[in-house]
């Protein structure tokens, strides 16, 4: 099978960067990324590459190279399906907010809509690739929909989960640890292997059965998140024993069986996937009556919730047990540095906790808009949109954000925070001047020398 045209449904954080790199590396394949969100497609097609809908280091250069050559963005989903030999489904699979499995299971309505649309439009054989993260055995349901509602053409389903992390997406895509392809039909698998072989050594492309591939994605995220919760649990123990969590992480990480990556204690992990995918894993385990397995993984989420709450409580307790009417400045709102994504960001939950105590919060994030901050808080439904706007101010200057403030809380590890003129910040702040470093990026010694009261997770 020779692939000359690929369509990707979903122009989001995965579909956009992933297919841009596939297009960059395969100039002979025509790639069309489609989405029902017309504003998002317009932004992908916009002239100003600094206004792409997603901020990722290195992304605009890749788009500049491939767009208009063999990379296209469109809202015409039917046409793109009709023309493609291979269709990637990269739509969102959020946690269900209604019905059976509410709060845990993955909502597969967008996936099913894609399958039905592909089935009704396709007039030639297609390879359908699951790029979204899906519960194990989703390919079975997809196959049933495609075969029973289609026009008698053949569909081969592959699972090809994505392992990129936001903020380093382009680097991860260009030089991945591995690519995983699960499937049943050897020719379909080989066709997708060829696409990746354009830039990835064959030995890093793993092929498995469909179910191993689907499950491996959930398990990879569960293991990564588990490391963060494990070190965060130890951070609390460090705070009461005089141990330093960075030193502990360094000491255990030097053991090559443990490894040093992903052991950074923090205010808690965020992002659209860790929590969603673990909840999904927990739901799947429970649905097979594997309650010990479900309880084991659920603990990773409970620990993460505890860490966010603990950070907020530390602020309240340190500010003499009341933050009512006090200004607290948030440096950072994104769930990690180098992204404008705020989904499930720890900042949202820490803010919510402090707002319940009637704190007044000023937010500065280099890449997140005021509109997004309010949207995130409104979506919690804890208080009215008017109250969120009364209590929270978003500014685009960090020094203005810190002026006359009682305390600064670092919620995202943006590099620029380290280089600020902390002396100037100190001069303009209320006294005592508190800094709560939820990311452990600032230097205790120099801040204390300037007269700050400095608290960092795990010290």
Task: Examine residue 16 and tell whether it contacts ligand UGA (CB under 6 A).
Answer: no
Task: Examine residue 262 and tell whether it contacts ligand UGA (CB under 6 A).
Answer: yes
The reply to whether 10 sits in an annotated binding site is yes
Task: Examine residue 179 and tell whether it contacts ligand UGA (CB under 6 A).
Answer: no
Distance CA(256)–CA(179), nearest Å, equals: 23
The reply to whether 13 sits in an annotated binding site is yes
Using the rule CB under 6 A, which residue among 96, 336, 403, 406 binds ligand UGA? Answer: 336
The reply to whether 344 sits in an annotated binding site is no
Task: Examine residue 93 and tell whether it contacts ligand UGA (CB under 6 A).
Answer: no
The piece of 163-171, 202-210, 286-294, 424-432 that touches ligand UGA (CB under 6 A) is 163-171
CA 23 to chain centre: 23
Distance CA(82)–CA(126), nearest Å, equals: 9
Using the rule CB under 6 A, which residue among 91, 129, 456, 457 binds ligand NAD? Answer: 91
CA 372 to chain centre: 15
Question: Rounded to the nearest 5 degrees, what angle is found at the Cα of 402, between the Cα atoms of 397 and 406?
Answer: 160
18: tokens are 């992933």
Strand order in the sheet with 86-89: 71-74, 30-34, 5-9, 86-89, 126-130, 155-159, 179-183, 205-208
Strand order in the sheet with 360-364: 392-394, 360-364, 327-331, 407-410, 434-437, 453-456
Conformation bin of residue 266: beta by default, left when phi > 0, alpha when psi is -120 to 50: beta
Backbone angles phi, psi at 267, to 5 degrees: -70, 0
The DSSP result for 84-115, as a single string, is -SEEEE----PBP-SSTTTTTSB--HHHHHHH
Using the rule CB under 6 A, which residue among 8, 158, 164, 408 binds ligand NAD? Answer: 164
The reply to whether 387 sits in an annotated binding site is no
The piece of 31-39, 287-295, 353-361, 387-395 that touches ligand NAD (CB under 6 A) is 31-39
From the list ligand NAD, ligand UGA, none, which binds 18 (C-beta under 5 to 8 Å, kind-based)?
A: none
CA-closest candidate to residue 161, choices 183, 184, 186, 145? 183
Respond yes or no: is residue 273 known to be catalytic: yes
User: Angle between the 274-287 and 210-241 helix axes, to the nearest 10 degrees?
Assistant: 120
Using the rule CB under 6 A, which residue among 96, 264, 326, 440 binds ligand UGA? Answer: 264
- By CB under 6 A, the count of residues binding ligand UGA is 20
- By CB under 6 A, the count of residues binding ligand NAD is 27
User: Angle between the 210-241 and 138-149 helix axes, to the nearest 10 degrees?
Assistant: 150
Q: Which ranges in 415-458 belong to alpha helices (H)?
A: 422-427, 444-449
Using the rule CB under 6 A, which residue among 62, 188, 200, 224 binds ligand UGA? Answer: 224
Q: Residue 409 CB: number of other CB atoms within 10 A?
A: 27
Residues 68-87, mask of contacts with ligand UGA (x by CB under 6 A): --------------------
Whichever of 279 and 303 has its CB closer to ligand NAD, that residue is: 279
CB of 451 to ligand NAD, least distance (A): 40
List residues forming the annotated binding site for substrate.
Answer: 162-166, 217-221, 257, 264-270, 335-336, 439
Sites of contact with ligand UGA (CB under 6 A): 133, 162-166, 221, 224, 228, 262-264, 266, 269-271, 273-274, 335-336
Q: What residues are annotated to the active site?
A: 273
Residues of this chain that interact with ligand NAD (CB under 6 A) are 9-15, 34-37, 40, 77, 90-93, 110, 113-114, 132-133, 162, 164, 166, 272-273
Binding-site annotation, residues for NAD(+): 10-15, 35, 40, 91-95, 132-133, 166, 273-276, 343
């Amino acid at each position: 099978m020779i692939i000359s045209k690929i369509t990707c449904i979903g122009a989001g954080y995965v579909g956009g960067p992933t297919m841009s790199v596939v297009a960059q590396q395969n100039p002979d394949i025509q790639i069309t990324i489609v989405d029902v969100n017309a504003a998002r497609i317009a932004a992908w097609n916009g002239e100003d590459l600094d206004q792409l809908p997603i901020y990722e280091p290195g992304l605009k250069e890749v788009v500049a190279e491939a767009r208009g050559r063999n990379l296209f963005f469109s809202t015409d989903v039917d046409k793109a399906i009709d023309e493609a030999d291979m269709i990637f489904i990269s739509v969102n699979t959020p946690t269900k907010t209604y019905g059976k499995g509410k709060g845990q299971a993955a909502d597969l309505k967008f996936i099913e809509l894609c399958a039905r649309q592909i089935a009704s439009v396709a007039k030639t054989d297609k390879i359908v690739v699951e790029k979204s993260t899906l519960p194990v055995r989703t390919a079975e349901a997809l196959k049933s929909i495609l075969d029973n509602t289609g026009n008698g053409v053949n569909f081969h389903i592959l699972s090809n989960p994505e392992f990129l992390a936001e903020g380093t997406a382009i680097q991860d895509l260009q030089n991945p640890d591995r690519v995983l392809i699960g499937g049943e039909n050897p020719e379909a698998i080989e066709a997708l292997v060829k696409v990746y072989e354009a830039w990835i050594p064959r030995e890093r492309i793993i092929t498995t059965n469909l179910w191993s591939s689907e499950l491996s994605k959930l398990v990879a995220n569960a293991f990564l998140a588990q490391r963060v919760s494990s070190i965060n649990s130890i951070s609390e123990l460090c705070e009461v024993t005089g141990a330093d969590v960075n030193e502990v992480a360094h000491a255990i990480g030097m053991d090559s069986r443990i490894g040093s990556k992903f052991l950074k204690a923090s205010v808690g992990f965020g992002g659209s996937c860790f929590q969603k995918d673990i909840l999904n894993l927990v739901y799947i385990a429970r649905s097979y009556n594997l309650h010990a397995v479900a309880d084991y993984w659920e603990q990773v989420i409970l620990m993460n919730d505890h860490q966010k709450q603990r950070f907020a409580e530390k602020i309240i307790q340190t500010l003499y047990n009341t933050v009512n009417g006090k200004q607290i400045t948030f440096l950072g709102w994104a769930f990690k540095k180098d992204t404008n994504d705020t989904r499930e960001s720890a900042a949202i939950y820490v803010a919510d906790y402090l707002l319940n105590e009637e704190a007044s919060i000023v937010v500065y994030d280099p890449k997140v808009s005021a509109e997004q901050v309010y949207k995130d808080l409104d979506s919690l439904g804890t208080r009215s949109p008017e109250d969120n706007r009364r209590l929270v101010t978003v500014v685009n200057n960090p020094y203005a954000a810190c002026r006359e403030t009682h305390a600064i809380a670092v919620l995202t590890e943006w590099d620029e925070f380290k280089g600020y003129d902390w002396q100037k910040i100190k001069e303009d702040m209320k006294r005592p001047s508190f800094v709560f470093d939820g990311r452990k990026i600032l230097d205790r010694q120099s801040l204390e020398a300037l007269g700050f009261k400095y608290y960092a997770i795990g010290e």
